[in-house]
């Protein structure tokens, strides 16, 4: 079943990708910062599913460490058939109130690392004439709310462009655009989410199952969940001026101050 490299595999959606792919018999390269969590997951997946699992500890906000992930993706002796660019995080404050170091790290993890890894994987896969790239974006890429939206917009549009560039080569590119998904994301970003309607929430397993079906079907944009498909279609049809103010007000409700 080949090999998949998953970034942000230590928690949430990335961990769910690793578990699902291992269950399907795919060998794995797990990337994140937390070595202990990655090693524990790798051992569990090897024992449970008999797949080969490598652990590649890397902070994707660091250029040199991201370079090691790119080297692994470019390695023709141990080809990677599916790249899942999933690592990411939400910001704890709005742009002007936030620490610039966190803002730069966001740009590095959610934009630069996606760009660099797609370059390495895209070239290697194109040369082999097969492969898949799945970039985890967000429904936030369709609205206008601060740097997170801007970075996820990059991921969605960049994926669309790369999908066109690779059309006919045997390599597919998919931007996964989930809505609210139960993971560590909101707690890490200190977001207050108790007021969110239950109907909006997705399970990471559901997101991953839909994403992998869409990759297999060669879809360029994947939006898991019927409720989010409808909302996304509405968002994309909404005039930008309305979207701008509405998005800010909606997201501000979930921000924890102080
Ligand atoms: N949850 C949602 O509602 C939601 C909705 C739409 C899109 N998304 C996107 O889904 C993706 C996964 O998020 P999640 O919800 O699963 O969040 P999560 O549970 O907080 O997991 C985030 C993962 O990213 C890794 N990560 C963060 N910073 C990193 C860095 N500097 N270098 C390497 N790895 C890093 C974390 O691992 P370490 O801490 O071990 O490094 C962790 O494995 C993100 O791109 C997020 O933007 C989430």
3-state secondary structure at position 145:
coil
Strand partners, 135: 85, 175
Testing ligand 1's pocket by substitution, the residue of 6, 18, 32 carrying the most ligand atoms inside 8 A of its CB is 32
| pLDDT beyond 60 at 220 | yes
Domain count within the chain: 1
CATH code of the domain in which 34 resides: 3.40.50.720
Range of the domain at 222: 3-252
- Kindly state whether residue 65 falls inside one of the protein's structural domains: yes
- Kindly state whether residue 58 falls inside one of the protein's structural domains: yes
- Kindly state whether residue 217 falls inside one of the protein's structural domains: yes
Give yes or no for residue 30 CB within 6 A of ligand 1.
no
Ligand 1 atom at minimal distance to the Cα of residue 90: 47
Does 223 qualify as catalytic in the annotation? Answer: no
- Kindly state whether residue 197 falls inside one of the protein's structural domains: yes
> How many other C-beta atoms lie within 10 A of the C-beta of residue 164?
11
- Kindly state whether residue 166 falls inside one of the protein's structural domains: yes
| pLDDT beyond 60 at 256 | no
Please report the pLDDT score of residue 145 as a whole number: 86
State pLDDT tens for residues 175-188. 999 999 999 999 99
CA of 170 to the centre of ligand 1 (A): 28
Contacts of 227 (CB under 8 A, 6+ apart): 179, 199, 200
State pLDDT tens for residues 30-86. 999 999 999 999 999 999 999 999 999 999 999 999 999 999 999 999 999 999 999
Residue 244 banded pLDDT, cuts 50, 70, 90: confident
Q: Which residue has a Cα nearest atom 45 of ligand 1?
A: 88
How many Å apart are CA 224 and CA 206, to the nearest integer?
Answer: 7
Check the CA dihedral 116-118-112-17 and report its sign.
negative
Ligand 1 atom at minimal distance to the Cα of residue 184: 19
- Kindly state whether residue 73 falls inside one of the protein's structural domains: yes
Structural contact between residues 19 and 46, judged by C-beta atoms closer than 8 angstroms: no
- Kindly state whether residue 191 falls inside one of the protein's structural domains: yes
Please report the pLDDT score of residue 250 as a whole number: 66
- Kindly state whether residue 258 falls inside one of the protein's structural domains: no
Give yes or no for residue 87 CB within 6 A of ligand 1.
yes
Point out the catalytic residue in the list 17, 91, 142, 148: 148
Structural contact between residues 225 and 206, judged by C-beta atoms closer than 8 angstroms: yes
Give yes or no for residue 14 CB within 6 A of ligand 1.
yes
């Amino acid at each position: 079943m080949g090999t998949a490299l998953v970034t942000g595999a230590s928690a949430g959606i990335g961990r769910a990708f690793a578990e699902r792919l291992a269950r399907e018999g795919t060998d794995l390269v797990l990337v994140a910062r937390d070595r202990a969590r990655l090693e524990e997951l790798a051992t569990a997946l090897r024992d449970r599913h008999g797949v080969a699992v490598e652990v590649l500890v890397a902070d994707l906000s660091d250029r040199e460490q991201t370079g090691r992930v790119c080297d692994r993706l470019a390695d023709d002796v141990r080809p990677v058939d599916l790249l899942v660019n999933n690592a990411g995080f939400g910001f704890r404050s709005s742009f002007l109130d936030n620490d610039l170091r966190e803002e730069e790290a966001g740009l590095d993890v959610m934009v630069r690392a996606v760009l660099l890894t797609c370059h390495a994987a895209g070239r290697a896969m194109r040369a082999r004439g097969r492969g898949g790239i799945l970039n985890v974006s967000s429904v936030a890429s369709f609205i206008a709310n601060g740097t997170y939206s801007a970075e996820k917009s990059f991921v969605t549009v960049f994926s669309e462009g790369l999908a066109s560039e690779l059309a006919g080569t045997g390599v597919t590119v998919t931007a996964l655009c989930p809505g609210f998904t139960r993971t560590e994301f909101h707690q890490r970003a200190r977001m207050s989410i108790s007021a969110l309607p239950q109907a909006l929430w997705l399970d990471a397993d559901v997101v991953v199952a839909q994403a992998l079906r869409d990759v297999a079907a060669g879809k360029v944009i994947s939006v898991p969940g019927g409720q989010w498909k409808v909302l996304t279609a509405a968002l994309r049809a909404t005039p930008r001026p309305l979207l701008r103010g509405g998005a800010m007000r909606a997201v501000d409700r979930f921000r924890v101050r102080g």
